[in-house]
Chain A
Amino acid sequence: MGLDTILAMLLTVIAAATPLLLAAIGELVSEKAGVLNLGVEGMMLVGAVIAFATTVGTGSPALGILAAMIGGMVMALAFGVLTLTLMANQVATGLALTIFGIGLSSLIGADYIGTPVDKLASLSIPGLSDLPVIGPLIFGHDILVYLSVAITVAVAWFLKKTRAGLILRAVGESDLSAHSIGYDVIRVRYFAVLFGGLTAGLAGAYLSLSYTPMWVEGMTAGRGWIALALVAFASWRPWRVLGGAYIFGGVTILQLYLQGGGDIGIPAQVMNMLPYLATIIVLTVISAGPWRGRLDAPACLGKPFRPAS
């Protein structure tokens, strides 16, 4: 295998990891505040279609990305109103959000099937981007790739170092305690959920503007759910989400390269099963340990909270 092949592989890993990372890091923040949003897939799809439609309509990918963030947040807001204000079951509402997102994105996207769009441009830094290997590997990506890493760093810093991050973790750890000390649990959770929507929207935008620059119905193909698994896999730690996203990206790539590497007698569909099977295996491995997961999960994850007044 030549250097070029390895380089190409690494680039594809980064591309496959980026949407997972974006979606998972927002879900991590939401779950750290105690809210389990199973609607990531739906928010991603809406983000993807809105980014695409806006970019096609305005010609500006920047506006497309912005619109995707807003779209994701509007979806998250609907989830928030139901689960936080009206205290609906988080699991059921998350499923509803995904079902609704699938329908809404197909409806919006119906007119855009087959429409081409330019792939999101790479940020090119004169000099650096032209370096061999390092150039394309580190300095040759589009804005969303850098953003995904930057957001992860920011989230890690926020949760660990800031007072607001401390409060957010406290709300996910014990909503009752946080409330009785005087924190507005519901408000904190709204912010966390909205942030999750924002990054899910970005993840969608990456798919429809960069990963495969077009709109296809259901193009997320379960990545929203894999992102959910990633958060548990990472035991709710931002750096591990980063690592996990890249490992999963690697699995995707493995599949592409095994297919591309000539006829090895395995149908393409079987290779396509890999990411899903990998998710199941990973979930099993992390759940099988006697204590893992239970200690790491925010104590109030998925529980509704309503203060008496």
Chain B
Amino acid sequence: MEPGHDVVKEHPRLELRGITKAFPGVIANSDVGFEVAPGEIHALLGENGAGKSTLVKQIYGILKPDAGEIVWDGREVDIPNPHTARALGIGMVFQHFSLFEAMTVLENVALGMDDPGKDRTALAKRIRDVSESYGLPLDPAREVHTLSVGERQRIEIVRCLLQSPRLLVMDEPTSVLTPQEVGKLFETLRKLKAEGCSILYISHKLNEIKELCDAATILRGGKVVAACDPKAETARSMAQLMIGAEFRSVARREAGKDTGPVRLTLKGLNMAPEMAHGVPLKNIHLALRGGEILGIAGVAGNGQGDLLAAIAGERKAASADTVTIDGKAVGRSGPAARRKLGLCTVPEERNGHGAVPDMSLTDNAMLSAHKRMGFLKAGFLDKGKSRNFAAEVIKRFDVRTPGTETAAGSLSGGNLQKFIVGREILQKPEILVVAQPTWGVDAAAAATIQQALVDLAATGSAILVISQDLDELLTLSDRIAVINAGALSDAMPAATVSVEEIGLLMGGIHGSPEDAHAKGAA
């Protein structure tokens, strides 16, 4: 505060007025305005694609608003880059971390500061001190790729804390954490709030917001549609504000209905990680039955990608009988052979893995369906057939697109996901393996996809869902198993298992209990 300037009326820490930002073909933010008071935890709530991330990137100086004002401590400011944002006292924890895998914690922290000082030993000590005092212990000498996802997030937070932030922006911080880690994070955030730091907390998880936040601004289609006190609202009422429609729940058949024979098995699957910094798969056993949905929970980066690749045939097992489909040993066969036996897959990454962004939907239908659906004639493509198939997927799964000849990459995330899931389901798979079926997809599309999975299971197909979204797995699955550090737990009935139990498995119960205690004590 300037001297002699008594705090008569305290300015909001941050005020946005009429922020508008457009990208080609989409208006990401339209006339957005709200205030964040000092020491307030303010929720920015909205479903995927509502424009939350775009908005905070403007606050942090990564994007430039087309129109509107950012007011900081009562003064209008221009934030052309993150350096300016940090100089004002704004810290940001990204959803997709801004970290450098091959570098140490120390180097990562130094890179995120504008004045880390010359003395690296001193900085290392500060990192240790600050991280300990907030219950986020970190070893400055470790390289990032050796750390768990939760620990990586700590680097981002500590990096902000070292610069004494007055506003901390957190973009979907809990999507990568176990339930227990979420609890620890909330303790840290409350401590910061008590110290007067404001927090802008971005999420689409309603229970978290009710538990943590003092105020909430709800964004839909890039516009502010409501502001509310989350403690006074119900999760259902906020959900309706967020989605703008009646919350649609998935029609579930009753649990425990008798399931069919075992279709897919993994027996002692071991596999080195494909990515340089990944974890190996360790002795994985699995038996998937017809008519059931088996969910695999786990924090990102615990071997899910390699597991899917091993099941799909994108990576081959050491011996053929490690993977069986209907009793046939396929561990050494490729994806085409496995598809022929009835195994279809939906990978996590849509653009570039599940679909070719620069190719038309017709060609993308050709991509995975050409053998199973007979789109080939003597080695030549029958484009007419694959066009018809693409059109049917578009119609049945309500894919919003100008037509079958549109490039896959120009579709929105939700529509492309509907297309890919639809493409696999319409091939009538006997086994379907889906990774992150609704990641980054809006609620309406998510409901369509989830319903389609449930309906497919009802026809007797076996379904494996690999997801980081525990809520989704609890809704969809008959049984849930947890993957942690490349090892898969036994599958437990979804109806009886507790969130705490799953959370402990996700964190690796045998992992480091002293670590958990240390955090609890802070």
Report A's interface with B, CB cutoff 8 A.
163, 166-167, 169-170, 173-174, 176-183, 291, 294-295, 299, 307-309
The reply to whether B276 and A294 form a contact with Cβ atoms under 8 Å apart is: yes
Complex CA distance for A179 and B100, rounded to whole angstroms: 12
9 pairs of A and B residues whose beta carbons are closest in the complex: A182-B82, A177-B98, A173-B100, A180-B98, A182-B83, A182-B81, A295-B276, A181-B98, A170-B111
- Interface size grouping (class) on chain B: 20 to 34
Complex CA distance for A227 and B96, rounded to whole angstroms: 36
Complex CA distance for A182 and B112, rounded to whole angstroms: 8
B77 at the interface (CB under 8 A from A): no
Nearest CB of B to A295, in Å: 5
In the assembled complex, which residues on chain B have CB atoms less than 8 Å from the CB atom of A180? 57, 60, 62, 82, 94, 98
Partner of B103, one of A163, A173, A183, A295: A173
Nearest CB of B to A173, in Å: 4
B18 at the interface (CB under 8 A from A): no
In the assembled complex, which residues on chain A have CB atoms less than 8 Å from the CB atom of B116? 163
Complex CA distance for A181 and B109, rounded to whole angstroms: 11
The reply to whether A173 and B63 form a contact with Cβ atoms under 8 Å apart is: no
Partner of A299, one of B23, B62, B63, B101: B101
B235 at the interface (CB under 8 A from A): no
In the assembled complex, which residues on chain B have CB atoms less than 8 Å from the CB atom of A182? 61-62, 81-83, 85-86
Nearest CB of B to A48, in Å: 36
Complex CA distance for A223 and B86, rounded to whole angstroms: 46
Nearest CB of A to B120, in Å: 10
The reply to whether B23 and A166 form a contact with Cβ atoms under 8 Å apart is: no
B102 at the interface (CB under 8 A from A): yes
Nearest CB of A to B312, in Å: 22
The reply to whether B82 and A173 form a contact with Cβ atoms under 8 Å apart is: no
The B interface is mostly helix, strand or loop, or mixed, namely: loop
In the assembled complex, which residues on chain B have CB atoms less than 8 Å from the CB atom of A176? 96, 98
Complex CA distance for A178 and B81, rounded to whole angstroms: 12
Nearest CB of A to B64, in Å: 6
Complex CA distance for A309 and B101, rounded to whole angstroms: 25
B363 at the interface (CB under 8 A from A): no
In the assembled complex, which residues on chain A have CB atoms less than 8 Å from the CB atom of B101? 173-174, 299
The A interface is mostly helix, strand or loop, or mixed, namely: helix
In the assembled complex, which residues on chain A have CB atoms less than 8 Å from the CB atom of B96? 176
Nearest CB of A to B227, in Å: 28
Nearest CB of B to A281, in Å: 25
In the assembled complex, which residues on chain B have CB atoms less than 8 Å from the CB atom of A169? 100, 103
Nearest CB of A to B480, in Å: 33
Nearest CB of A to B61, in Å: 7
B348 at the interface (CB under 8 A from A): no
Nearest CB of A to B78, in Å: 15
Q: What 18 new A-B contacts, CB under 8 Å, besides A173-B100, A178-B100?
A: A163-B110, A169-B103, A170-B103, A170-B107, A173-B101, A173-B103, A174-B101, A176-B96, A176-B98, A180-B60, A180-B62, A181-B112, A182-B61, A182-B81, A295-B276, A299-B101, A308-B63, A309-B63
Chain B residue with Cβ nearest A169: B103
Chain B residue with Cβ nearest A298: B102
Contact flag A181-B111 (CB < 8 Å), given A308-B23, A308-B63, A309-B63: yes
In the assembled complex, which residues on chain B have CB atoms less than 8 Å from the CB atom of A178? 98, 100, 111
In the assembled complex, which residues on chain A have CB atoms less than 8 Å from the CB atom of B81? 182
Nearest CB of A to B100, in Å: 4
List 28 contacting pairs A-B, 8 Å CB cutoff, sorted by A. Answer: A163-B110, A166-B107, A166-B110, A169-B100, A169-B103, A170-B103, A173-B100, A173-B101, A174-B98, A174-B101, A176-B96, A176-B98, A177-B98, A177-B100, A178-B98, A178-B100, A179-B62, A180-B82, A180-B94, A181-B82, A181-B98, A181-B112, A182-B81, A182-B85, A291-B276, A295-B102, A299-B101, A308-B23
Complex CA distance for A182 and B102, rounded to whole angstroms: 19
In the assembled complex, which residues on chain B have CB atoms less than 8 Å from the CB atom of A167? 111
Chain A residue with Cβ nearest B272: A290
Chain B residue with Cβ nearest A309: B64
Complex CA distance for A170 and B101, rounded to whole angstroms: 10
Nearest CB of B to A303, in Å: 13
In the assembled complex, which residues on chain A have CB atoms less than 8 Å from the CB atom of B94? 180
Nearest CB of A to B99, in Å: 6
Interface residues of B in 48-69 (CB under 8 A from A): 57, 60-64
In the assembled complex, which residues on chain A have CB atoms less than 8 Å from the CB atom of B103? 169-170, 173
B97 at the interface (CB under 8 A from A): yes
Chain B residue with Cβ nearest A307: B62
Complex CA distance for A307 and B63, rounded to whole angstroms: 9
In the assembled complex, which residues on chain A have CB atoms less than 8 Å from the CB atom of B82? 180-182
Chain B residue with Cβ nearest A291: B276
The reply to whether B64 and A174 form a contact with Cβ atoms under 8 Å apart is: no
Nearest CB of B to A187, in Å: 12
Nearest CB of A to B22, in Å: 12
Nearest CB of A to B326, in Å: 34
Complex CA distance for A295 and B143, rounded to whole angstroms: 13
Q: A174, A178, A181, A307 — which one has the most chain B CB atoms within 10 A of its CB?
A: A181
Nearest CB of A to B151, in Å: 16
Nearest CB of B to A236, in Å: 11
In the assembled complex, which residues on chain B have CB atoms less than 8 Å from the CB atom of A170? 100, 103, 107, 111
In the assembled complex, which residues on chain A have CB atoms less than 8 Å from the CB atom of B112? 181
Complex CA distance for A299 and B145, rounded to whole angstroms: 12
Complex CA distance for A169 and B143, rounded to whole angstroms: 14
Nearest CB of A to B349, in Å: 15
Complex CA distance for A163 and B102, rounded to whole angstroms: 16
The reply to whether A177 and B99 form a contact with Cβ atoms under 8 Å apart is: yes
Q: When each residue 29-65 of chain B gets 1 if its CB lies under 8 Å from chain A and 0 otherwise, what string results?
A: 0000000000000000000000000000100111110
Complex CA distance for A228 and B17, rounded to whole angstroms: 52
Partner of B102, one of A173, A181, A309: A173
In the assembled complex, which residues on chain B have CB atoms less than 8 Å from the CB atom of A294? 276
Q: When each residue 81-123 of chain B gets 1 if its CB lies under 8 Å from chain A and 0 otherwise, what string results?
A: 1110110000000101111111100010011100010000000
